Amino acid sequence: MSVKEAEGQVSPPSDDRTPRRSGESHARGWRGVGWGFIVKLILVALVNAFGVMVVISAFRVESWFILGAMIVLVAAVDVVYFTRRALPLKYLLPGLIFLLAFQVFIFGYTAYIAFTNYGTGHAGTQEQAVEAALIQGERRVENSPTYPLAVVERGLGELGFAINDDGTVLVGSELEPLSEVGEMGAGAPTDVPGWTIVERSRLLSDQALQQTVIDLRVPVSDDPNDGSIRSRDGSSGAVYESTLVWDEQAQTITDTTDGTVYHATDRGSFVADDGSSLPAGWFVGVGFDNFVKIFTDPRLAEPLLLVAAWTFVFAILSVLVPFALGLLFALVFNDPRVRGRRVLRTLFILPYAFPVFLSALVFRGMFNAEFGVINDLFFFGANINWLGDPWLARFAVLFVNVWLSFPYWFLVCTGALQAIPTDALEAAEIDGAGRFRRFWSIILPLLLVSTAPLAIASFAVGFNNFTVIYLFNNGGPPIPGAPYGLGYTDILISAIYDISGVSGGAADFGLASALAIVVFIVVGVIAAISFRQTRRLEEFQ
């Protein structure tokens, strides 16, 4: 839109708002709050309400980090939107909040995890690991008394047990050990101050509640070694004790059945002298261990090297081949004598208009060795194992990616070709430059100035093109003997996905994050170098 048109649109709004006369005081210029202010008030009120809600529930589950972050966030919103200063921030804040929470923070968090052993068996604090270990070793105490018991409830579904211990009523919940609340005769407690008794009929009819009650453990005292009350039927309870004993002073867990002593190690697990360890561990910082493992553990380093090499080959070829094809098509059809170029262009870019995930899945079917159409139609029914052979699978996934992205380069190159000044070409032609000379010396350099940054960006996309790799063939076929199911067409990001175990199986978040950090660094270095190169290209222009 031209400046004139733009200004034509501008003038109307200005006349219905009477401008403040110069010299008039700010108070006299006050013209009511205006609907804009009301909208702002409502929105900020909603943010505050949400913030209070989050703070309360964060307090309940003792998530101090989220609680703190939320307070800071709400305070920031209130300050920014109710002061006259910080004008730019009024516009930046919404995006900034999401950027900080879901991009900057998660990068930092990834870096942090990379230096820990976070993963299956190392997911919580040491305290949680001890508790988990003791629960796993829990048995009913032999000859222990059975107490009459009532299931009680308070607040928002917090369940507990009330027991009658020879006339003394004790009550407690999962988080609160038993404490005395009153006296009574024989039988299950009927009245527990501060708690409501859960009706037996409700207990019998509600399956989910029954399961919760069976899983509920109410500690007898603050010391986990004292065991806890559990109930099989919701009407009587008994003390269960772990056969494992936790000694906080010595940092050991002893198995009372056979006397094995498990020591807490600085690697976040309990290990006995004979090398056996308890399944429950906690997560600790492990320094550069994960990074060292990536490069030195031969079982991991060799497949990873293969994956890394393929990542580069895949990313580079995924730019070069479609670029070359797109440029070729653009050169050929950038010819006014060819009629119907608009129709042709629309047909050429069909792959680009097809969602990537669908293309990858469709090709997955088409390349299938047994019933795929590619073997059927183009190889006369031969049984070529496209997805099962390392080289064929690599070729196939490249083929798919080229198919997906040549239209993009065709569009970009067509645009860039049309922007090249014709006088330069004519001058070259008069000077006797042939077709190839003109292409290499004029068209290509000029074209690269505008397309090189796009090529870099699309290299970065190819480097992390999880969708195509994973949907097409899950990164397969598998490399024999490689851990975590790494395959021949896996690129680094899909390898990270396999290692992380977020889709199930044993998880190693620490190792996967370390690998992600390595990829971050690689991508960053490549981007930095190539942007410097592009700047040089621009100077060349």
Q: Which residues in 456-475 contact other proteins (CB under 8 A)?
A: 457-458, 460-461, 464-467, 470-471, 474
Which helix (H) or strand (E) covers residue 168, if one does?
Answer: strand 168-173
Q: Environment class of residue 515 by beta-carbon count within 10 Å: exposed (0-12), middle (13-18) or buried (19+)?
A: buried
Other Cβ atoms less than 10 A from the Cβ of 365: the count is 11
Figure out which of the listed residues 408, 448, 485, 537 binds other proteins, where binding follows CB under 8 A. Answer: 408
Contact between 359 and other proteins by CB under 8 A: the answer reads: yes
Judged by CB under 8 A, the chain residues 203 through 242 that form the site for other proteins are none
Judged by CB under 8 A, the chain residues 68 through 87 that form the site for other proteins are 87
Contact between 344 and other proteins by CB under 8 A: the answer reads: yes
Other Cβ atoms less than 10 A from the Cβ of 116: the count is 20
- Shortest distance (Å) from residue 32 CB to other proteins: 14
For the chain, the distance separating the N- and C-terminal CA atoms, rounded to the nearest angstrom, is 28
Contact between 357 and other proteins by CB under 8 A: the answer reads: yes
Token code pair at residue 349: 């870019």
Judged by CB under 8 A, the chain residues 424 through 453 that form the site for other proteins are 425-426, 429, 435, 438, 450, 453
Cβ pair 301, 481 in contact under 8 A: no
Contact between 329 and other proteins by CB under 8 A: the answer reads: yes
Short-list 510, 489, 107, CA closest to 307: 489
Contact between 52 and other proteins by CB under 8 A: the answer reads: no
Q: What stretches of 30-188 show up as alpha helix (H) in DSSP?
A: 34-60, 64-82, 87-99, 105-114, 126-136
Round to whole Å and give the CA distance between 183 and 195: 15
Judged by CB under 8 A, the chain residues 19 through 38 that form the site for other proteins are 19-20, 36
Contact between 175 and other proteins by CB under 8 A: the answer reads: no
Contact between 185 and other proteins by CB under 8 A: the answer reads: no
Figure out which of the listed residues 317, 331, 384, 424 binds other proteins, where binding follows CB under 8 A. Answer: 331
Round to whole Å and give the CA distance between 455 and 444: 14
User: Which lies closer to other proteins via its Cβ, residue 270 or residue 470?
Assistant: 470
- Shortest distance (Å) from residue 274 CB to other proteins: 34
- Shortest distance (Å) from residue 532 CB to other proteins: 14
- Shortest distance (Å) from residue 303 CB to other proteins: 19
Round to whole Å and give the CA distance between 216 and 30: 62
Judged by CB under 8 A, the chain residues 2 through 21 that form the site for other proteins are 3, 6-7, 9-10, 13-15, 17-20
Round to whole Å and give the CA distance between 78 and 48: 8
Contact between 389 and other proteins by CB under 8 A: the answer reads: no
Contact between 379 and other proteins by CB under 8 A: the answer reads: no
Quick one: which segment of 1-9, 190-198, 305-313, 389-397 binds other proteins (CB under 8 A)? 1-9
Round to whole Å and give the CA distance between 63 and 310: 42
Token code pair at residue 427: 């001058």
- Shortest distance (Å) from residue 404 CB to other proteins: 8
User: Which lies closer to other proteins via its Cβ, residue 38 or residue 250?
Assistant: 38
- Shortest distance (Å) from residue 313 CB to other proteins: 19
For the four alpha carbons of 151, 153, 159 and 165, in that order, the dihedral sign comes to negative
Contacts of 114 (CB under 8 A, 6+ apart): 290, 291, 510, 513, 514, 516, 517
Contact between 92 and other proteins by CB under 8 A: the answer reads: yes
Q: Three-state SS for 424? A: helix
Figure out which of the listed residues 346, 382, 533, 538 binds other proteins, where binding follows CB under 8 A. Answer: 346
Quick one: which segment of 152-160, 194-202, 217-225, 412-420 binds other proteins (CB under 8 A)? 412-420
User: Which lies closer to other proteins via its Cβ, residue 117 or residue 164?
Assistant: 117
Figure out which of the listed residues 58, 73, 134, 315 binds other proteins, where binding follows CB under 8 A. Answer: 58
Contacts of 113 (CB under 8 A, 6+ apart): 509, 510, 513
Residues in the chain: 541
Figure out which of the listed residues 201, 222, 332, 541 binds other proteins, where binding follows CB under 8 A. Answer: 332
Judged by CB under 8 A, the chain residues 475 through 494 that form the site for other proteins are 493
Q: What is the DSSP letter of 443?
A: I
Figure out which of the listed residues 242, 318, 401, 500 binds other proteins, where binding follows CB under 8 A. Answer: 500
Figure out which of the listed residues 49, 373, 444, 529 binds other proteins, where binding follows CB under 8 A. Answer: 373
Short-list 356, 308, 311, 316, CA closest to 456: 316
Rg (CA), the chain: 34
Figure out which of the listed residues 1, 27, 156, 186 binds other proteins, where binding follows CB under 8 A. Answer: 1
Quick one: which segment of 223-231, 258-266, 310-318, 401-409 binds other proteins (CB under 8 A)? 401-409
Cβ pair 407, 349 in contact under 8 A: yes
Round to whole Å and give the CA distance between 362 and 404: 12
User: Which lies closer to other proteins via its Cβ, residue 27 or residue 61?
Assistant: 61
